[in-house]
Chains A and B, each alone.
Chain A
Amino acid sequence: MIAIPSIPGFLREPNGPIGKPVNRVDGRKKVTGDAHYAAEFTLPDLAHGCIVSSAIARGRITRIDTAAALALPGVIHIFTHENRPSLAWFDRKWKDDDAPKGSPFRPLYDAEIHHALQPVALVIAESFELARYAARLVHIEYEVAPHQTNLRANRANTFTPGKDKGGFQPPPKPRGNPEQAFLDSPVQVDVEFTQAAEYHNPMEMHATTVLHHDDGTLTVHDKTQGAQNCHTYVCNVFGLPKSAVRVMSPFVGGAFGSGLRPQHQLFMAMLAATQLKRSVRVELSRPQMFSFGHRPETIQRVALGADRDGTLRALIHEAVQESSRNENYVEIVVNWSGQQYTCDNVRLDYKLSRLDVHTPQDQRAPGAATGVPALEIAMDELACKLGMDPVELRLKNYAETDPNTGNPFSSKELRACFQHGAERFGWAKRTPAPRSMREGRELIGWGMAAGVWDAMQGQAAAKAVLGVDGKLVVSSATADIGTGTYTVMTQIAADVLGLPIEEVTFCLGDSSLPTAPIEGGSWTVSTVGSAVKAVCDRVRSQLVTLAGKLDNSPLKGVAEADVLFADGHLIVRNDRSRRLSITDVMRGSGTLSIEEEARALPYLLARARHTFATHSAVFVEVRVDEDLGTIRVARVVSAIAAGRIINPKTARSQIQGAVVWGIGMGLEEEAFTDHRLGRVMNHDYAEYHVPVNADVPEIDVLFVEEHDDMVNALGAKGVGEIGIVGVPAAIANAIHHATGVRVRDFPITLDKVLAGLR
């Protein structure tokens, strides 16, 4: 056990805002239309850009004729690879914080077409409608080259990637003798899973507005999960000094990973603004939201061997995913299978197959949302074969320490998730046989699955300014994509300094603020929250020092550890009548403001010796119409172990939203590629189905108690991803329980169920 330093008193004040279901501090702005997103800033000289997308999946442009478009009055310029200015040469200049190994895509670079809907021209006009009209008049001729977009046809054409992306760990070496152990196992499951490519499709389409100021500086309003990531990118690509550009993203209309890398609308808007020396906005259309990163299509095999009592003897998990020709997009898919259950014979294998597609992109719980469901369906199949309760089987093979590394978990309350989730759901009333529960024509199925996600932490800095009026402003260049960052950071700051929430303002989404990494992977509370705590701790120390120096101070000689901060006061812990207000301390000491900056790092030593993860147990009821095969999720209980929950209200929303994503993955979301054309055919919201209100039932979220003083000074692990992880599997397992039909191909649409029912 490693001792972690922490300020006594912090998090021990029962009335502090941490752990309270505080309403979103940006809520009023969002419900009144006062929250402004990337396409909602303007200057009088604003010009509008419309991107022309490639009509082919691979080949080259032989001719671009822009004459008809340029002839329209009000069309300002059309950018193509033929007339673009010279830009950064080296790949390194085009890399961003989330770029995998390879050569990043460069828009308008040359005549080559690498993927469908590749941007090939940018029309700039005085109005949006005109730009869109003119874009249709750009005439392009292509020489078509053969393309490969079909993963199933290319599944044998693979390679094993290395450590090709930040945060990616290749699978651990095999342990034991998995092949032999599998053959020797009396009970076996050996199955294949497929899962369609999914597109992020945040509600706000990707957009960038570049405001060109008179002094030549640029303010870039971009849809991004990392203002500084985009800032570095545009400065590198366009050869601009850092001081000449400021990237802002105070409000982001969802992203789910689509904003982790600079997307091409940013490049396009910057290109036009720097060349034309005026303000420019470029907004993608909904079909163009299918022109870049996506959750990759995946083919998996899971083989489980077990003794008759359910003890796992062999576990083999293999995955093949698509990547592009130019980059090795990798995500952890199979590693968790070696971590979730105790098993002596394990082989995990991960491969990529290159296709003529845009590089895939992290999407909510990247890898885990793909790999864990395959494992969890296989576990359900094993439970069926054993005639064992699925929860029992998981408890039987419960990993008390991480079997991949042999390290202990910093904390792991998955057992409590099973117990409380099952109780809340009423799991004990389940009759195990498939098709054994029904109501009229509806077959009822109860299924469950477990989930896991890493509890990561990066490095971040934060700044705090406390004014003599007792108002605190804290800032860090992180993002709030709907996750609640504004609110939880405000709570953390208010908690440390004992201030009312209303007295604290948190600023984010601005490249000029203290350094923070891209917001993703559920690491923001851990990463930025720790920096916010650290900087507020410094302000706190200063206040104690100042208070001690005041004449007749009731705090004279009191050690910092003995001072509580509450209600805007410094209070002596064991004599609460001895107190001073923060404003009195500042005024009394002639301090107009206290300014501090601090950086927080992960506890590296603890991290080297422990596994840090969030866990979940998901229970789902589905109802399947026996005649029509229609599937309805009727209720969901999601029990989550994620350390301390800073704000149960916003955290619950995160889990609910992720469950909705799990419903999408399980039942609805699927990009259909016509492989003759190499392009996604259902590229809009009408044909690419995401869950609507009527698809979503009550979602019961439970946070189990989980104490963790190793994960960070807050004890919080983050909740953005874990909510989706078990859901698709729980749905698939429930469908099997309802119907006896086992579908191993996501999404599970009614045709697949009907085929089995017949």
Chain B
Amino acid sequence: MAQLKASLRPATAPPPEPIPVTLTVNGVERTLHLAPWTTLLDALRLHLDLTGTKKGCDHGQCGACTVLVDGRRINSCLTLAAMQDGRKVTTIEGLTTGDALHPLQEAFIEHDAFQCGYCTPGQICSAAGLIAEGKASTDDEIRELMSGNLCRCGAYPNIVAAIRQAMAAVATKAEGAP
């Protein structure tokens, strides 16, 4: 039988030394000492114990890790924490104000827009980003612009309904504002 030799033997380099990284996470400034190969996702989950942000693929293919960085939604597995040094990060834990839920969180519960709940923090953060972008006004636009967030449980119709409701709530609030 043929011998299969691993042809690509990766070069051995020593693991990188930690560097300081400062992030403002949910309003609190945190300085971490992280090996530079640490993703923002792992920094949140493993170093800050903010496990609300989920890992579904680690390759930017599912959206479970979506957080807001300076108000924009990004896949936190696709960026190194060090690349976000000095930025403001909002995770699902940061959307509640005291005991009060964010309108999206309320709408997700009301519309049963999740089942296992694993994609949910990413869906909600992504929806918050979507509303801030102001690009979606129809259901089809919501569907299209939320398609980076997989839901294997298939809660999509309810996710659309929840976002529609929260979007209206946010708009009403904005109109009411002085």
Contact = CB atoms under 8 A, between A and B. Distances in A.
A484 B109 CA distance: 13
Contacts of A482: 114-117, 153
B32 to A, nearest CB: 13
B54 interface: yes
B75 to A, nearest CB: 12
Given A62-B3, A141-B4, A684-B57, A204 B155 contact: no
A592 B6 CA distance: 68
What class of interface size applies to chain A in its complex with B? 35 or more
B58 A286 contact: yes
Nearest to A691: B154
Interface of B: 1-6, 9-10, 12, 14-15, 35, 37-38, 42, 45-46, 49-59, 61-62, 64, 91-93, 95-96, 101, 105, 108-110, 112, 114-121, 124, 140, 142-144, 146-160
A128 interface: yes
B118 A654 contact: no
B152 A201 contact: yes
A115 B50 CA distance: 37
Contacts of B149: 693
A139 interface: yes
A692 B150 contact: yes
Nearest to B109: A27
Contacts of A201: 152
A653 B112 contact: yes
A204 B57 CA distance: 8
A255 B116 CA distance: 9
Contacts of A654: 115
B61 A694 contact: no
Interface in A236-279: 251-256
B155 A145 contact: no
A72 B157 CA distance: 49
Interface of A: 23-24, 26-37, 39-40, 42, 55-56, 59, 62, 68, 71-74, 127-130, 133, 136-137, 139-145, 201-205, 251-256, 283, 285-286, 481-484, 649-650, 652-654, 656-661, 684-686, 690-699
B36 to A, nearest CB: 10
B151 to A, nearest CB: 7
A455 to B, nearest CB: 21
Given A33-B52, A129-B42, A658-B154, A685 B62 contact: yes
Contacts of A129: 15, 35, 37-38, 42
Given A285-B58, A656-B154, A23 B112 contact: yes
Q: 4 smallest A-B Cβ distances: which pairs?
A: A33-B52, A660-B154, A253-B118, A482-B116
A696 B143 contact: yes
A99 to B, nearest CB: 25
Contacts of B119: 203
Contact of B152 (A68, A254, A483): A254
A725 to B, nearest CB: 15
Contacts of B95: 32
Contacts of A137: 10, 12
B109 A203 contact: no
Nearest to B160: A693
B152 A33 contact: no
Contacts of A255: 116
A203 B42 contact: no
Given A23-B109, A202-B118, A685-B57, A33 B155 contact: no
Given A23-B112, A286-B56, A286-B57, A33 B92 contact: yes
Given A254-B115, A684-B61, A139 B154 contact: no
Residue of A203, A253, A286 contacting most chain B CB atoms (<10 Å): A203
Contact of B56 (A144, A204, A686): A204
A483 B115 contact: yes
B159 to A, nearest CB: 7
A451 B34 CA distance: 53
B51 to A, nearest CB: 4
Residue of A37, A62, A693 contacting most chain B CB atoms (<10 Å): A693
A33 B58 contact: no
A251 B117 contact: yes
A37 B118 contact: yes
A34 B152 CA distance: 20
Given A40-B45, A143-B1, A685 B143 contact: no
Contacts of A693: 142-144, 146-147, 149, 151, 156, 159-160
Nearest to A696: B156
A154 to B, nearest CB: 21
B92 A141 contact: no
Contacts of A32: 52, 92-93, 95-96, 101, 105
Given A72-B15, A253-B117, A286-B56, 15 more contacts: A32-B95, A37-B118, A39-B55, A73-B14, A130-B15, A251-B116, A253-B118, A254-B115, A286-B61, A656-B154, A656-B157, A685-B61, A692-B148, A698-B157, A699-B157
A558 B144 CA distance: 62
A130 B42 CA distance: 13
A202 B154 contact: no
B109 A31 contact: yes
A56 B12 CA distance: 24
B82 to A, nearest CB: 13
B112 A649 contact: yes
A698 B140 CA distance: 11
Contact of B62 (A203, A251, A256, A698): A203
Given A34-B52, A692-B150, A127 B1 contact: no
B162 to A, nearest CB: 10
B118 A144 contact: no
Contact of B35 (A68, A127, A661): A127
B154 A657 contact: yes
Contacts of B1: 59, 143-145
30 contacts: A23-B112, A28-B101, A31-B92, A31-B109, A32-B95, A33-B92, A33-B121, A39-B55, A59-B1, A74-B15, A129-B15, A137-B12, A202-B118, A203-B62, A203-B64, A203-B116, A203-B153, A254-B118, A256-B152, A286-B61, A482-B117, A653-B155, A656-B155, A684-B57, A684-B61, A685-B150, A690-B150, A693-B143, A693-B144, A694-B143
A657 B4 contact: no
Nearest to B10: A136
Contacts of A659: 154
Contacts of A143: 1-4
A40 B61 contact: no
A68 B146 CA distance: 43
A222 to B, nearest CB: 15
Nearest to A660: B154
A118 to B, nearest CB: 14
A204 to B, nearest CB: 5
A204 B114 contact: no
Residue of B2, B91, B114 contacting most chain A CB atoms (<10 Å): B114
Contacts of A691: 154, 156
A659 to B, nearest CB: 7
A226 to B, nearest CB: 16
Contacts of A127: 35, 46
Given A33-B93, A685-B62, A657 B9 contact: no
A133 B38 CA distance: 12
Contacts of A694: 140, 143-144, 147
Nearest to A255: B116
Given A203-B54, A204-B54, A68 B61 contact: no
B59 A686 contact: yes
B143 A202 contact: no
Contacts of B42: 128-129
A610 B151 CA distance: 38
Nearest to A283: B55
